[in-house]
Structure 1
Amino acid sequence: MDDLLWWQRGVIYQVYPRSFQDSDGDGVGDLAGIAQRLDHLVSLGVDALWLSPIQPSPMADFGYDVADYRDVDPIFGSLAEFDALVAEAHRRGLRVILDFVPNHSSDQHPWFLDSRSGRNSAKRDWYIWRDPAPGGGPPTNWLSHFGGSAWEWDAASGQYYLHSFLKQQPDLNWRNPAVRGAMEDVLRFWLDRGVDGFRIDVIWLLIKDDKFRDNPANPDWREGGNPRDRLLDLYGGDRPEVHEVIAGLRRVIDAYDDRLMIGEIYLPVQRLVAYYGEGGGGAHLPFNFQLITAPWNAGTLAGIIRDYEAALPPGGWPNWVLGNHDQPRIASRVGPAQARVAAVLLLTLRGTPTLYYGDEIGMLDVPVPPDRVRDPAERNQPGLGLGRDPQRSPMLWDTTRNAGFSSGEPWLPLGATPSVAEREAEPDSILQLYRRLIALRRADPVLRGGAIDGVAAEGSVLRFRRSLGEQQRWVVLNLGQEPAGVTLPAAALVFSTLPGRATGPVGGRFELRGHEAVILRGDA
């Protein structure tokens, strides 16, 4: 167990900077605000702080359209404030992970302005430009993730440029060695400032099909579904050559001691695990989002856990995610009662867990009226429920004005979930549950790094065993609202999500209450 690295032992906590804490009253969170709230992360027990994008941006996609990779947007602060945040985090034993958005830049980035200036631009090939199709129109049928064609016509040069997301987010050409070199230098810029790692945005999209073939129709798509899903995206990403690019990024990061590389990848598990790379030369953690998108029942989750563990390559370290800035909040997906059970699942599975800010207080998605919608995913495709504003609402700190988030008007509506201060006052609140779970995980080498087996579903009950040498832990979770009985080996109950459960020896037939999860300790 002493061989585990910090990111294998630890818990990662994602902050969406716009929504965590505003220090200057403009209604938008910032770096100084995050620094003010670091003690909350320490009290929670997490090990690393992951920041969604903070670089200068026109904010067409709220920071995922980067106009300068080597600075901080004034809305969030300055490089000096970033350095101060890193120093304060490190002083408290917290690591800092940055978002890196390499697939596309802003259309206001100097690189693209140069590239767009004409076909003879020295940076023309830094982006993906193509002539119209033989009969006119876009070069391929590829679709943007935010709706419509992935190609935008540039009348001045008579070509189209590719944008996998908004037209304000042109895709960089990662087949160009100059682009790779420039982006690797960006990583070094932040690593030299003390950053402990990167979460790399849409890493599977970095290389596109070199033949620019049309995507085939999706035979499973039905009218009324997401229009983008009507095609199978075979050629807009996940190309074999991407792994060489990722290996190059990994070499840059590995040149610095004890740093982490996370890849954002929305792919089936058999494709996902390829991003660990040959010989471990890919991402340390290709993000595993299966718990976010899975139906919440014991049989499905047992299958997901078994299949993922079986698919991992030798030496591949697992990871699990319950929530993030792109997906509905866990308490809204499964309900507040099951959110407590979900916390146990996340923090007892083998591998590195990632929390999303606010999940520790059971935050729910916040309804956003049409006149306050900010997310381009919703604005471009209204009525499909694709907007991500509801899960990006400001953190609720206390019962003062604007929940202690800002002295000004918050950029998104506030929710009605009890605040951190209110959860602090409840001895059995979900906040206290998270603290107890993280403390138990930190203190227990079996839960931190032991093997996992015996993953099984019995009706509404999901169960598995963690083991290290002769030490064993059983995790048993009732995903239903009705009581459920299970047969357990002789062991000692050490944890329950619900009050009133006595700790101590159990064995034989055991009755779980509805929405209850327990952890038991025993020896082989």
Structure 2
Amino acid sequence: MSKLKWWQKSIVYQVYPKSFQDTTGTGVGDIPGVTRHLDYLKSLGTGAIWLTPVYPSPMVDNGYDISDYCGIDPSYGTMEDMETLIAEAKKRDIRIVMDLVFNHSSDQHPWFLESKKDRTNPKADWYIWRDAKPDGSAPTNWRAIFGGSAWTWCEERQQYYLHTFAEAQPDLNWENPEVRKALFDAANFWLDKGVGGFRIDAIVYIKKPEFADGTPDGPDGLVGIHEMTANTPGILDFLHEFRREVFDGHDIFTVGEANGVSPEELPQWVGEDGVFSMLFEFSHLELAYPEGEIWCKRFPWKITQLKQALTASQKATAKEGWYPIFFENHDQNRSMHRYFPEGTDPKTAAKALATILYTLRGTPFVYEGEEIGMTNVAFPHIEDYNDISTHGQYEYALKKGFTPEEALKCVQFQSRDNARTPMQWTCETNAGFTTGKPWLPVHEDFMDCCVEAEAEDGDSVLSYYRRLNRERTTGAAAEILQQGTYEELLPDDERVYVFERSLDDHATYTIVNFTNEPVTYDAGFLKDAKPLLGNCKNPEKGKLRPAEAVVYMD
């Protein structure tokens, strides 16, 4: 077996700084708040902290609309705070991983402000501008991911500009070598600061196809831009240049957000001949949205589809590349609601998913609050939601003919704000997140679901995460879980997910019941294997309680 790199042996913990810890009473989390909890993060086995954007931003999309790639937004602190975080994390053998948002910038970025002035300025083609159709309408009928046309009219230039996301997030023109150099310089700025890697946002959209209309897929007469532009041929040429100019020669890891890259394509994107160390692909998250991420158009899905998606990713990275294992991030609702039937005990479900997270082949990515079992929040009014995407999806649902009540129910389930409520630290007011008014309300369950309460409870979700980390890093099955091969067992079972990890003459078997009912299964493959850990006491071979997960080892 080849020697594993540092980022293959630890976990990556994703911090959404705005919701992690406020040290100033503003109600908004900050960089010193991350520094304050470094010892806690180390106790989880964290080797890298992925920070969502902390750059200067108008905050139309909570920092994913960047106005300066080499600065720190005052709401999060100062560059000195950032340098302190990097240094203090390094003392604990933790690397800081920055989020690079290179498909688009803010419309308040100096580059765009210059580009929009006229058609002859030095940055005139740093963004994607097109003339209107003869009737004055947008150049194509593409729908932005946040809803509405993907084109916005600019009076100064008498042209439209393209935005894959919000109109405040104009797409950069990667065809221009000056743009690419400026972005690469920004990434190298942070490497010089000592960061340990990058997560690259929305990277599948940087290469644009021909600008042509598509077949409308909704009542607005538009077609989703993702279907029209994601993973356009030629994109890998840009990305290999990115690797050469930034990644190569540094002891870092990179992970691309690659919604639209299939498991079969993964070898072109990761590994020695690819671009990134790892790649987030979303097949296991999009089971209910085969027609794209339109929240009010959810479809039923089967457990076999989830298993097939996870197995395909495991197989695709078995020889080349490495898999980032994740069920949650800042763009998704809480995972237990997505994968388990309504009424399932949330604590048991959270532990079941954690069992898979830590026993698949790859690096576990844990999103803040996931390790204490934080759940969805259902705000009573659409006005209570902050997320720009939530509001766009709500308006789309109304156009689709849903009642306001039905539209609200859709976004209550799927809203990104479900994952953005403040981190729950203590039983004190506002869960110890802030002494001020939190920017987003704290979940009402914080008295029971918080770090303070769970740290003292040996049966808590947090205690279970810590136990899983010990088993994965120093336990009897550590070598198997870190380096063993993967094979799915019982692939046709619609209730239970079973997989084997094997190394030399030993193996582990992860078995998870995805239903809220007791089930039986053929346990012949276990032979003399003994229970290693599980989310229920006294497991019994061949039988599983609702949402029970157990790992056996022989």
Report the TM-score range of the alignment, normalised by the length of the smaller protein. over 0.9
Structure 1 Cα separation of the partners of residues 127 and 225 of structure 2: 24
Residue by residue over 1:148-175, the C-alpha shift from the partner in whole angstroms, topping out at 9 and shown as x without a partner, is 1111111222111111111111110000
| Aligned equivalent of 2:456 | 425
CA contact (8 A) 1:288 1:320 kept: no
Once the two structures are TM-superposed, the CA of residue 456 in structure 1 deviates from its matched residue by 2.5
CA contact (8 A) 2:333 2:415 kept: no
Scaled by the length of structure 1, what TM-score is found? 0.92
| Aligned equivalent of 1:288 | 281
Shift of the 467–381 alpha-carbon distance from structure 1 to 2, 3 Å rule, reads closer
CA contact (8 A) 1:215 1:232 kept: no
Structure 2 Cα separation of the partners of residues 271 and 151 of structure 1: 32
| Aligned equivalent of 1:25 | 25
SS in 1 for 2:266: helix
CA contact (8 A) 2:311 2:488 kept: no
Once the two structures are TM-superposed, the CA of residue 271 in structure 1 deviates from its matched residue by 6.3
Residue by residue over 1:412-471, the C-alpha shift from the partner in whole angstroms, topping out at 9 and shown as x without a partner, is 011114111111121111111111011111120110121011432435222111011112
| Aligned equivalent of 1:243 | 236
Residue by residue over 1:332-373, the C-alpha shift from the partner in whole angstroms, topping out at 9 and shown as x without a partner, is 333413221111011111112211100111101222343332
Q: Percent identity?
A: 39
Structure 1, gaps ≥5 residues long: none
Structure 2 Cα separation of the partners of residues 85 and 183 of structure 1: 23
Shift of the 126–98 alpha-carbon distance from structure 1 to 2, 3 Å rule, reads same
Partner AA of 2:528 in structure 1: A
| Aligned equivalent of 2:291 | none
CA contact (8 A) 1:21 1:34 kept: yes
CA contact (8 A) 2:141 2:149 kept: yes
Structure 2 Cα separation of the partners of residues 165 and 461 of structure 1: 38
| Aligned equivalent of 1:201 | 201
| Aligned equivalent of 1:399 | 427
SS in 1 for 2:490: strand
Once the two structures are TM-superposed, the CA of residue 31 in structure 1 deviates from its matched residue by 0.2
2:318 equivalent to 1:306? no
| Aligned equivalent of 1:489 | 527
Structure 1 Cα separation of the partners of residues 222 and 498 of structure 2: 34
CA contact (8 A) 1:7 1:352 kept: yes
Which residue among 335, 338, 355 is the counterpart of 1:330?
335
- Between stretches 263-272 and 108-117, larger displacement belongs to 263-272
CA contact (8 A) 2:20 2:433 kept: yes
| Aligned equivalent of 1:370 | 382
CA contact (8 A) 1:428 1:499 kept: no
Once the two structures are TM-superposed, the CA of residue 139 in structure 1 deviates from its matched residue by 0.9
Which residue among 324, 342, 345 is the counterpart of 1:319?
324
2:518 equivalent to 1:519? no
Partner AA of 2:496 in structure 1: V
- Between stretches 173-182 and 370-379, larger displacement belongs to 370-379
Structure 1 Cα separation of the partners of residues 181 and 140 of structure 2: 28
SS in 2 for 1:252: helix
Which residue among 492, 496, 499 is the counterpart of 1:461?
496
SS in 2 for 1:408: coil
Shift of the 516–233 alpha-carbon distance from structure 1 to 2, 3 Å rule, reads closer
2:542 equivalent to 1:510? yes
Structure 2 Cα separation of the partners of residues 68 and 121 of structure 1: 20
Shift of the 427–229 alpha-carbon distance from structure 1 to 2, 3 Å rule, reads farther
Structure 2 Cα separation of the partners of residues 229 and 464 of structure 1: 42
Structure 2 Cα separation of the partners of residues 167 and 395 of structure 1: 30
CA contact (8 A) 2:271 2:320 kept: no
Structure 1 Cα separation of the partners of residues 534 and 88 of structure 2: 34
Scaled by the length of structure 2, what TM-score is found? 0.87
CA contact (8 A) 2:145 2:226 kept: no
Residue by residue over 1:66-85, the C-alpha shift from the partner in whole angstroms, topping out at 9 and shown as x without a partner, is 00000100000111100100
Shift of the 138–271 alpha-carbon distance from structure 1 to 2, 3 Å rule, reads farther
Once the two structures are TM-superposed, the CA of residue 247 in structure 1 deviates from its matched residue by 1.1
CA contact (8 A) 1:32 1:85 kept: yes
Structure 2, gaps ≥5 residues long: 289-300, 395-406
Residue by residue over 1:9-34, the C-alpha shift from the partner in whole angstroms, topping out at 9 and shown as x without a partner, is 22111110000000100000000011
Shift of the 159–37 alpha-carbon distance from structure 1 to 2, 3 Å rule, reads same
Structure 1 Cα separation of the partners of residues 224 and 189 of structure 2: 39
2:212 equivalent to 1:213? yes
Partner AA of 1:408 in structure 2: G
Once the two structures are TM-superposed, the CA of residue 322 in structure 1 deviates from its matched residue by 0.5
Partner AA of 1:15 in structure 2: V
| Aligned equivalent of 1:157 | 157
Partner AA of 1:151 in structure 2: W
Once the two structures are TM-superposed, the CA of residue 294 in structure 1 deviates from its matched residue by 3.8
Structure 1 Cα separation of the partners of residues 392 and 532 of structure 2: 50
2:509 equivalent to 1:439? no
CA contact (8 A) 2:267 2:321 kept: no
- Between stretches 70-79 and 276-285, larger displacement belongs to 276-285
Number of aligned residue pairs: give it: 509
Structure 2 Cα separation of the partners of residues 72 and 232 of structure 1: 31
Structure 2 Cα separation of the partners of residues 86 and 228 of structure 1: 48
Structure 2 Cα separation of the partners of residues 153 and 160 of structure 1: 4
- Between stretches 186-195 and 373-382, larger displacement belongs to 373-382
SS in 2 for 1:126: coil
| Aligned equivalent of 1:77 | 77
CA contact (8 A) 2:329 2:367 kept: yes
SS in 1 for 2:4: coil
2:368 equivalent to 1:351? no
Once the two structures are TM-superposed, the CA of residue 275 in structure 1 deviates from its matched residue by 5.2
Structure 1 Cα separation of the partners of residues 45 and 375 of structure 2: 22
CA contact (8 A) 1:305 1:455 kept: no
CA contact (8 A) 1:485 1:510 kept: yes
Shift of the 292–469 alpha-carbon distance from structure 1 to 2, 3 Å rule, reads same
CA contact (8 A) 1:493 1:521 kept: yes
CA contact (8 A) 1:97 1:199 kept: yes
Shift of the 14–158 alpha-carbon distance from structure 1 to 2, 3 Å rule, reads same
CA contact (8 A) 1:306 1:455 kept: no
Structure 1 Cα separation of the partners of residues 472 and 270 of structure 2: 29
Structure 1 Cα separation of the partners of residues 150 and 536 of structure 2: 49
- Between stretches 171-180 and 154-163, larger displacement belongs to 154-163
- Between stretches 60-69 and 231-240, larger displacement belongs to 231-240
| Aligned equivalent of 1:139 | 139
